[in-house]
Structure 1
Amino acid sequence: MHITENQLHLPSSYLQRDVTCTILGTEGVLPENLLLLNDGQEIESLNLKASLQYQYERKGIAPLLVVAIGAGEERIQEYGIAGQPDYKQRGTKADSYNRFVVEELFPAIALQAPVEEFKIKAFAGFSLGGLSALDIAWHNDDLFNKVGVFSGSLWWRSKGLADGYTNDDRLIHRVIRESAGKPDLKFWLQTGTKDELADRNHNGIIDSIDDTIDLIKELESKGYTRPNDVQYLEIVGGEHNTGTWAEAMPKFLCWAFGN
C-alpha cells in the first residue's frame, strides 16, 4: 500500500495564523480511521511513514488518514488545558486551539475526506502536545473515540512547587476528577524511565511516571478499567524525545487501529 503525502494550509481565525497540516493517506484505498497528531512537524523524526508502511505490509492496522498538525511559534501557549493556564500563565491560547481543532480543522477534514464517516477517530500528542490532545478529546468525545499521550506533561499545575503545591494542583487530574460525566473514550498512555530526573515527593519514581499513574487512578475512579479502557506503556530507558516516541508509535498504532 502506497502512502500519499499532501499539505493542508488552513488560515485560522482563532489562532490568528496559518496552520500547516501534513496529510498522510493511502493511495487507491479508502481510509477507515482518522488520526489527528499534535506537533505534526515531527513526523520525520518520529519515523511515522515507515511505521505506517510496516503495519500496512503486515496487515497490522486498517487504512488510516493521518492529519499531523504543525505547531506554531506560540506552541507553549496554544497547547495546555482550555481555559486553565498554568501557574506561569502558559497555555493562555489553549481554548483557541481547542476551537481551531473542533470548529475549523474538523470541517476542513470533512471537506477533503474520501469517506463520510470514520470508524475510529483518535487524537495523540507528545509531551505538552499529549496534554493538549487529552484535554481536547476529553471535552469532545462526540468527535474522538481514542486518545494517545506520549510522555504527557501531566505535571501541568496551577501552583509552583515553592508556593505550597500539592498533587491537587495538577490541572488535568482536577479536570478529570471534577467532570460530571464519563466521556466515551479509550486511553493509551506512555512514559519512559528516563523521561526526566525530577522527583517531587522523593519516592524514587520520576514525576512523569508518578503523574501518569495518578492519572490512571483518576480514570479508574470515573469507572474506566484496565486494560479494556486504559493501556499503559512504560519503556525502560525511554527518554523524553522523538526517538523513544518513534519506538512506541507502532504499539500505539496497533492499539488504536489494529485489525
Structure 2
Amino acid sequence: MQQVTINFSILFILLFSVTSCNKPEEKASSDKKTKNEVLVLGTIHGGHLTDSVYNIDYLQKLITEINPDYILTEIPPKAFKTAMDGFKRDDSISEPRTMRFPEYVDVIFPLSKKMKFEIIPTAGWTKYMAAERGAKLRAIRQDTSRADDWAEYVKGNKLSDSLYLASGKVNNPYFIHTNEYDSIQDIGLQTYNTLFNDELGLGGWENINIAHYWNIEKALEKHRYQGKRILITYGAGHKGWFLKELRKRDDIELLEMKPFLDAIE
C-alpha cells in the first residue's frame, strides 16, 4: 500500500511539472495567433461630402484596404435594423439617424454588398438623450448666472479650433489619426466635460462615450480571440477617448492607421 502511494505521488508531481512547463508557452502561442486586430477610424461626417481629400472615394479605398471582418459603427442598435431593412429593400438608407452619416450611407452600407464584413451598431445615442442635452445646453446659455461657465466653454472650443487651424492639416486623414490631433480636440472637449457632463446626464461628453464604449466592449467580448480584424468608425472627436480605453485591453492588437493610409496614396 505504501509503495503504491509513493508512486502515485511521484506520478502526480511529474504530471504537474509537465503541465506547468507547457501551459504558459501554449497560452502565449494561442494568444498571439488569435488576438483580434482593432483599428479606430476617425470620421468627419458631412465633411466627407465636400473635402477634397478625405472624401467618399477616399473612405471607400481606405476601408477596402483595411478589409475588416467587423465594422463597429456610430449607429444606435435600435436604428440599425430599420436602416438595414431599408437598404436591402431599396438599396438606399432612409432611417433618419443613419442618414446623417455619409460614411455609412455612401460607403459602408454599399461596400457591404461586395465585401464580407459584418456591420455592428454600437452607438449609445438616443433621440431622448439628444433632445434633453439640447434643451439643457440652451437653458445654461440663457442663464445669466452661468455666463462665466458658458464663456469658459466657448473659450475652450475656440482654443481647440484655433490650434487645429494653425496645424494647417484640417481634415487631413494622416493628422486626424495622430495623438496630436486627439490632444487638440481634448482641449475643448474636456472643458465641456468638466463644466457640463454631470448636468447633461446621459448626453454629457464622458457619459455618452461610456454608453458608446459599453456597446463596443460587448462586441469585443463576443468576438474575443477570433483572430479577426475589427474596425471602429466614429466621429474623430471620440477617437482619443476610445483609444485610451482600448489600450487597457490585453486581448487585442491595436493597429496604426498610417500603413493603410500609405497603401492607398
TM-score for the superposition, normalised by structure 2: 0.31
* Higher radius of gyration, 1 or 2: 2
- Structure (1/2) with the larger strand percentage: 1
TM-score for the superposition, normalised by structure 1: 0.31
- Structure (1/2) with the larger helix percentage: 2
Question: Of the two structures, which has the highest relative contact order with CA contacts closer than 8 Å and spacing of 6 or more?
Answer: 2
